[in-house]
Amino acid sequence: MPDTSQVCSWCRGDKLLYDYHCGEWGIPLHDDVRHFEYLALEAMQCGLSWLLVLKKRDAIRKAFSGFDVRRVAGYTEADIQTALEVPGMIRSAGKIRAVVNNAGVFCKMQEEYGSFDSWLWSYTDGKTLVYKSHRSGLPASNSLSDEISAFLRKRGMKYLGSVTVYSYLQSAGIINDHEPCCRLYEYINSSFPVRFAD
């Protein structure tokens, strides 16, 4: 393991978590393919550990056609069964159907807003939120995740409650929840547009 003295405590002790943390987590994301991937991973994670999802990420990617949202939106029942049979895949037909359903909603939102990314970042005027209150502990959800989750569920998305959406907002860099001692906390604050909030 590399030196973990200046990273978030949750990624210490496991190289897969460390690499995910340092290479992806919380870095502002502006790519619809990755947005769909993150949403799919979050939906598949419900009730499971994030480490397990990372271990199965390649299988999930294969099951969902490399996270090609338009292909996934067109999945038939036969495709869902094929996805279930991918070696190493999380074998939950309900979650797979939810991701297929969500892909269809995602595509409609792309058509309506130009991109999913532009819709999402409109909530923060294109800026990463840095909550001062989070220095003393992170919430499981907040008013922003409540609002976005409610909108997505109204549009028909599934497995994306407020707690799951909050986790997604952290991973996509909408919220900078790196610990203040983590080198990425200051990197994000100094390298990307941010807005400080209470």
**Catalytic residue ranges:** 20, 42, 50
Q: Do residues 166 and 99 make contact, with C-beta atoms less than 8 angstroms apart?
A: no
Residues 6+ apart with CB under 8 A from 162: 141, 145, 146, 149, 150
Beta carbons within 10 angstroms of residue 165's beta carbon: 26
Distance CA 194, CA 124 (A): 9
Q: How far is CA 93 from CA 81, 175, 177, in A?
A: 8, 31, 32
Q: Do residues 160 and 102 make contact, with C-beta atoms less than 8 angstroms apart?
A: yes
Q: Do residues 172 and 30 make contact, with C-beta atoms less than 8 angstroms apart?
A: no
